[in-house]
Structures are given as C-alpha cells and as structure tokens.
Amino acid sequence: MPTADPDQLCINTIRTLAMDAVQQANSGHPGTPMAMAPVAYALWQRHLRFDPNDPVWPNRDRFVLSMGHASMLLYSLLHLAGVKAVNPKYETLGELSVTLDDIKRFRQLDSKCPGHPEYRWTSGIETTTGPLGQGVATSVGMAIASKWMAARFNRPAFPMIGFDVYALAGDGCMMEGISQEAASLAGHLKLDNLCWIYDNNRITIEGSTDLAFSDDVATRFIGYGWNVTRVGDANDLAMLDRAFETAKATPDRPTLIIVDSHIGYGAPHKQDTHAAHGEPLGEEEIRLGKRFYGWPEEEKFLVPEGVRECFAAGIGARGARLRAEWVGLFERYKTSHPALADDLYRMQHRQLPEGWEQSIPTFPADAKGLAGREASAKVLNAVAQAVPWLIGGSADLAPSTKTRLTFDGAGDFEAGSYGGRNMHFGIREHAMGAVLNGLSLSKVRPYGSGFLIFSDYGRPSIRLAAIMEIPVIYVFTHDSIGVGEDGPTHQPVEHLLSLRAIPGLVTIRPGDANEVAEAWRVILQSRHQPACLILSRQALPTFDRSKYAAASGLARGGYVLADAPSGDPEVLLLATGSEVALCVAAHELLGQEGVRSRVVSLPSWELFDRQDQAYKDTVLPPSVRARVSVEQGSTLGWERYVGSTGRAIGMRTFGASAPLKELQKKFGFEPGNVVSAAREQLTRRA
C-alpha cells in the first residue's frame, strides 16, 4: 500500500499520474514530472500564494513550467490542488480546471491536458510553454509587471500588488539564447521577486549534456547579478524549503535554485532513456516504478484517500486566506483610492478608461507630411496619457522608432525605480518579445519596438502571443527599402509576408498620419489578439480627407481612398503604407488620360478579410479584373487581391545600398511605372 507519510503520498501521486497518463496516451515525457514532483510539490504546497478557487486573483504568485514537455507535472498539480475553471468573463465556474478524465485523455483531442501547457485553454496555466527558454523569459515580464504595478497602485496601508514569480526550467532552457538574454535583463533590473528553479538532470534527447553543454551555470548567473543557491537532492523537502525561503528573503537580486535530480523515479535504470526521449515507460517499467514507490502495481490513475485533502489543507487553505484578505483590502482601497481602484479593475479586465479615444489626434493635410514613426510618436504619447497602464520600450532603438514616452511623469523603468513607463530592453529582441508576453499576461498593456528587419529575432515570441491571444503591441519601423543606404541587411523584403502568415496576428501598415492614428485606435481596442504596427522611416504625404475618403476606413482593413469622378472604375490600384501615395499620384495621372481608376488603401489584410463579402465586393468589385498592387515587400500573397492575371509591383530580390530615390527608380516604385502597369492591365482585357 502507499506510504502513510502525507507529503510522500502526494508526491508519488503526482508521479504515478504522470506515468499512467503518458502510457495511456502512448506519447509524452514522464521522466521530468517524476523527478521534479517533490520540487513542484514543495513550492505549491508550502510557499506559493495561489488560491485554487480563484486562479485569476490579481496578486497571486505565478508558476511557470518553462520545460513545457513536462506538462503532466502541472496537470497533476492543477487536479490535486482542486484548481477551478474560469470563463472568459473571469468568473469561476465551480468545476475543476483539470478533471481526472482530462488526465486520462492526456494529449488527446479537446482534452484540457494538451501536450504542452496552453494559456486560455486550461485555467491555472499562466503562459503557453513548449519552445524551451520561452517560459523563463516570459516569467521576467511577469516579475517586471509585479514591480511596475506595485509602484503604480500600492499606497501606505494598501499593498495591493507584490506577487512573486517562479519558473521551473531544465537544461534545454538554460542552453537556449533567449533565457540568457532574459536572465541578463532580470539581473540588471534587480528583480528580487523572481525565482528560477533549474532541474539539473544532465540529460537531453541526444543523451548526456556533456555532448554539447559544459557551462558553469552557477557562475554564469552570478555574473548576471543573480543570487544562486543549490539543492543537492530533489527529494530533500527541508532543503527545498530553505532554498525557497532564501529566495523570498534575498533583496535586490533574482534567485536561481539549482536542483540536482535524477530523471525518472529513482536509481539509474533503463527508464532514463525512455523518459529523456519523451517516450512512455512501458507497462513493465511502470510496474517497477510503482514498486519502487511502494505503490499498487496494477492500479492506474490512483489518487489515494487523503491526497486531495492534504492539498486543500495546504495551498488551498493558505490561498483562500490570502485571497480573502486581498479582497477585503481592495474593498477598502476602492473607498480610499477610488481612481486607482478603478484603473486596477479595468486593467485586470482588459478594459480602457472612459473617454480615452478623445486623446487621439488628427493631422491636417500636408503634401510634405510625416514619417509613419513620427506620427505614431505623437499618437502614442497622447493615448499613453489617457491609458496609464500602457507601457513599453524598445530593443535599444527608441530614438529611431520614436517610441519613447516624453510627457511629464513618464519616467524610466529601472532597477530600484519601478514606476517608469519607458522600458529599456537592451539589444535583446527575442527576450523583449517574451517579456512583452509576460507583461500582457499580467494584464499590463505592453508595446515593444524595433526595426521591421529584426522582427525575425523576436518571431517565436510573437507567434506565442498569437497562440495565447494576448494583446501585445509591436511597433516596427524602417519598414521597406526606404531605409536606403543601410542596404539589404536592414531592408525588410519578406517580413510583412512572414508576419501576415501568423494566424491571429494583425498587421497594419498605415498610408499616412491619420491612418496611423486610426491604427492605434483599432489596436488599443483589441483585447485578444496581438498586433504589429508597421511604420515608415521616410515622410508620407498626409492626405486631404476632404478630397479623399476618411481614414476611419482603416478599421475595416481596406477601403476606397480615391475614385473616379463618375462611372465605375476600370482599374484598381491597391497599396499599403508609403505606396498608397504612389498609387494616388498614378491615379491622378490616369485621370488626366481619361482612365477611371480606383485607389484602395489596404493597410491590414487580416482586418479586411474579416469583413463580409458584400463589403469586400464594394471595395474590390469582382467585375473589375484589371488590378495592380504596389508594396515595397514580397509580392507573394497579393494574388489573393489582384487575381492570377493582375500585376503585383513589389520586391522579388533583396534591396540595395543607395539613396531612397535611386532605389525607388531601380525597383519600379514610381508613378509612371504604376501607370504603365495599369495601362497594361487594361490592354490585356480590351
């Protein structure tokens, strides 16, 4: 029979649930959940400030399973702790987030226990993990959010926010570059509310870590400015307790706890190879493992009497008490600090302040115009004053991306001074993306910026934001060969297309200053999708909206900007960004020749494709097959709008190093070339 020791009984229940689930699914990673069960149990049961009955309580501690392949460790904890499901309205439903039936259907279609933890799919999961290193990097964003929110909302006698963040990582997380970027940033910012737990089991899929990894991890993290402590045996609960208490008591430094473990269930055995390779152990190995734990060998998915009660008396009782105290404090806070309480509530529910839209500026017609990045700077600084929890920064490029908040009181987020709204990520695009995800998951509204060409460096984090459906904002400038003399390494060609390929991500490339303003309006109202705002370095003419259509058409992704004075159009000219003005110029020339052309500004393919067919047909009449698209990027994808016989003017090679006007001439981005393409389209259909 199972041991009578309640702690060991709970730990072995976690282990055997993982073994049985992976075996039944015939897929998964059993070894790490088995090895790390004591570590996760000690943290959850004795230290984590988390209420299973309200897993979205704002001041809860966060637990991130960075090594997402060990997902059964987390699913077992969620089930045994009795974590409740939460609906999209942030209401607890009274039912378990993870049932025993869900565990029995691990890795099966529609189970709440998919192969890797998925945010929004299973309550109690703080972030989607899977790609190694993403979880620990995202945890840095969560820790930053806690520090910023404390500075913003806490008042004497009202410590509303101050949660800690724990992330469980493995050798793979430590090898990935993103974790090193994030650890460097966390040490620089002195995030003493952050604790990473490193499962030092010295084995990866290919075998021993000695094959490719010989870092002195402790020394590396000390160099980053971290506190480093070690637990020599993952099964030593007393030593784990001391390590967690040390982490909580250490000021001005994040903590790395290095835990030495043996993957699997005990002494070295052939199960090590299976567990490391993400394979089921097999029935015989499972029997041996259960025998090692003193477990009934033929029992499957056994939760012995007393296990759930043990969790309820530990994390359950502690979490309920802490949450109840916080709720009472918040009620008093609403009386003493009503404006701050309203902001905190709105932020947590992804709502915006009343009247925030009144801050959005409009821009007068101007033939010289503004660069997209300059217009965005004006809009951003206006709306940020109206939305106090809009914070962000750049990967060391704010002077170029124009994303610095310059109004009085904006300040800088720095070590020991956590109330500033300007963040400095350093030259760490990948970590920046993950930090933005962590901020957004904590309900702060974050933006991050860089050159469009460097979106490649942050793409994995952008993709995860789309998977999680969180409203992260990316501001990418220097959007085309318009970068000029910097040359091909800095001139994006395929990047717009690659971002458009990410499901759930909205890309917007505005054509003038007022489209930029409308883009910010659309983006800030989005609650469940990330967005990329793609901006020019060079000036764009600001269109006379008394002559051309209102920029509010941007909200529908595409709209008719300019049309022939009378009669149906003969040819459609489609463009985004800086090329819209090019099409307007061509439209005027064609009009002088008596050709009826229509200019369609199509800044967001994603928003346009969501419109009903009737609207899309009014913008792009099916009867008009003479079509020309113009965009300083890859032409791939434009056939969906211009058809198989339409003409796409764009980039089919990389760019070149030269002044802007020379590049425009070389690659055909001139009004005359657009006019010629339009004539050719008309001739082919004559």
- CB 99, CB 17: distance < 8 Å: no
- 216-240 pLDDT per residue, tens: 999 999 999 999 999 999 999 999 9
Q: What is the mean pLDDT of the chain?
A: 95
Question: Which residues touch 166 (CB under 8 Å, ≥6 apart)?
Answer: 43, 48, 61, 62, 63, 64, 139, 195, 196, 197
pLDDT at 635: 96
Q: In this structure, how many other beta carbons lie within 10 angstroms of the beta carbon of residue 309? A: 11
Sorting pLDDT into bands at 50, 70 and 90, what band is 264?
low
Strand partners, 230: 258
Buried b (16+ CB within 10 A) or exposed e, 402-419: bbbbeeeeeeebeeeebe
Beta strands in 442-596 (DSSP E): 445-451, 473-477, 506-508, 531-534, 539-542, 559-562, 571-575
CA distance 273 to 275: 6
Q: Which residue has the tokens 């994303």?
A: 403
What does the DSSP assignment read for 158-217? B------EEEEE-HHHHHSHHHHHHHHHHHHHT-TTEEEEEEE--EETTEEGGGT----H
φ/ψ region of 221 (left if φ > 0, alpha if ψ in -120 to 50, else beta) reads alpha
Question: pLDDT at position 271, please?
Answer: 42
Please list, in sequence order, all residues whose beta carbon lies within 8 angstroms of the beta carbon of residue 79, skipping any fewer than 6 positions away. 17, 96, 97, 98, 99, 100, 102, 103
The average pLDDT across 279-296 equals 90
Q: Which residues, in sequence order, are CB contacts of 547 under 8 Å at separation 6+?
A: none
By the 8 A CB rule, do 541 and 505 touch?
no
At 568 the pLDDT is: 93
Residue 12 binned pLDDT confidence (cut-offs 50, 70, 90): very high
In whole angstroms, give the CA distance from residue 672 to residue 674: 5
pLDDT in tens, 495-508: 999 999 999 999 99
Q: Is residue 646 predicted with pLDDT exceeding 90? A: yes
**Dihedral sign, CA of 260, 265, 271, 275?**
negative
- Per-residue pLDDT tens over the stretch 548-566: 999 999 999 999 999 999 8
What does the pLDDT read at residue 281?
87
* Segment 382-436, tens digit of pLDDT: 999 999 999 999 999 999 999 999 999 999 999 999 999 999 999 999 999 999 9
Give the chain's domains with CATH numbers. Answer: 6-322 (3.40.50.970), 356-541 (3.40.50.970), 555-684 (3.40.50.920)
**How many angstroms separate the Cα of 685 from the Cα of each of 364, 523, 679?**
39, 40, 10
Question: How far is it, in rounded angstroms, from Cα 245 to Cα 229?
Answer: 11
- Quote the pLDDT of residue 276: 45
- Structure confidence at residue 213 (pLDDT): 83
**352-362 burial, b for 16+ CB within 10 Å, e for fewer?**
bbeebeebbee
**429 has catalytic annotation:** yes
Q: What is the pLDDT of residues 56-68, one digit of tens each?
A: 999 999 999 999 9
φ, ψ dihedrals at 292, nearest 5°: -60, -35
Mean pLDDT is lowest, of 200-209, 291-300, 572-581, 636-645, for 200-209
Query: Which residues fall within 8 angstroms of residue 239, CB to CB, at 6 or more apart?
Result: 231, 232, 233
Give yes or no for residue 446 having a pLDDT over 90.
yes
Residue 599 contacts residue 541 (beta carbons within 8 Å): no
Six token digits for residue 556:
């529908």
The CA angle 114-119-121, to the nearest 5 degrees, is: 55
Q: What are the beta bridge partners of residue 630?
A: 575, 649
Is residue 535 packed enough to be buried (19+ CB in 10 Å), middle (13-18) or exposed (0-12)?
A: buried
pLDDT, greater one: 28 or 181: 181
Long-range CB pairs of 544-547 (<8 Å, 24+ gap) are 544/365, 545/365, 545/514, 546/365
Residue showing tokens 């940033």: 185
How, if at all, do strands 559-562 and 531-534 pair?
Answer: unpaired
**How confident is residue 2, by pLDDT bands cut at 50, 70 and 90?**
confident
Q: What is the DSSP string of 664-683?
A: HHHHT-SHHHHHHHHHHHHH
For residues 325-340, give the mean pLDDT: 98
pLDDT tops 90 at residue 261: no
**Crossing angle of the two packed helices 455-468 and 429-441, in degrees rounded to 10:** 20
Residue positions counted in the chain: 686
**CA 413 – CA 162 distance, rounded (Å):** 16
Q: Write down the pLDDT at residue 1.
A: 57
* Percentage of residues in the chain having pLDDT higher than 90: 90
Phi and psi at residue 409, in whole multiples of 5°? 90, -5
Each as own residue / partner, the long-range contacts of residues 611-614 (CB below 8 Å, 24 or more positions apart, any chain) are 611/556, 611/557
- The model's pLDDT over 15-26, given as tens digits with 9 standing for 90+, comes to 999 999 999 999
| CA–CA distance, 469 with 55 (Å, rounded to integer) | 18
Between the CA of residue 352 and those of 14, 154, 524, what are the distances in Å? 41, 20, 8
Let me know the angle formed at the C-alpha of 523 by 520 and 526, rounded to the nearest 5 degrees.
150
- State the pLDDT at residue 403: 98
Q: Which of 181, 374, 429, 606 is catalytic?
A: 429
Mean pLDDT along residues 597-617: 98
Token duo for residue 131 = 């790609």
Mean pLDDT computed over 307-323: 98
Q: What is the pLDDT of residue 207?
A: 81
- Work out whether strand 207-208 and strand 203-204 pair parallel, antiparallel, or are unpaired: antiparallel
Q: Work out the number of other CB atoms within 10 angstroms of the CB of residue 461.
A: 28
CA 318/CA 320 separation, integer angstroms:
6
Mean pLDDT (whole number) for 262-275: 47
Place of tokens 């000695």: 210
Token pair of 542, please? 């600001």
Q: pLDDT per residue over 69-127, tens digit each? A: 999 999 999 999 999 999 888 888 889 999 999 999 999 999 999 999 999 999 999 99
Pairwise CA distance, residues 19 & 361, whole Å:
59
The single-letter code of the amino acid at 196 is W
Q: Percentage of the chain surpassing pLDDT 70?
A: 97
Is pLDDT of 279 > 50? yes
Structure confidence at residue 269 (pLDDT): 41
Long-range contacts at 357-362 (CB < 8 A, ≥ 24 apart): 357/521, 358/386, 359/383, 359/385, 359/386, 360/517, 360/520, 360/521, 361/517, 362/514, 362/517
CA dihedral 106, 111, 114, 119 (to 10 degrees): -140
Q: Which of 548, 527, 543 is nearest to 598 (CA)?
A: 548
Q: Model's pTM, two decimal places?
A: 0.96
Q: What pLDDT, in 10s, does the model give residues 451-475?
A: 999 999 999 999 999 999 999 999 9
Lowest-confidence segment of 196-210, 514-528, 655-669 by average pLDDT: 196-210
643 to 461, 646, 678: CA distances (angstroms)? 33, 5, 14
Phi, psi of 19 (to 5 degrees): -60, -50
Helix or strand run (H / E) with residue 648: strand 647-651
For residue 597, the cross-strand partners are 571
Which residue has tokens 């099916």? 622
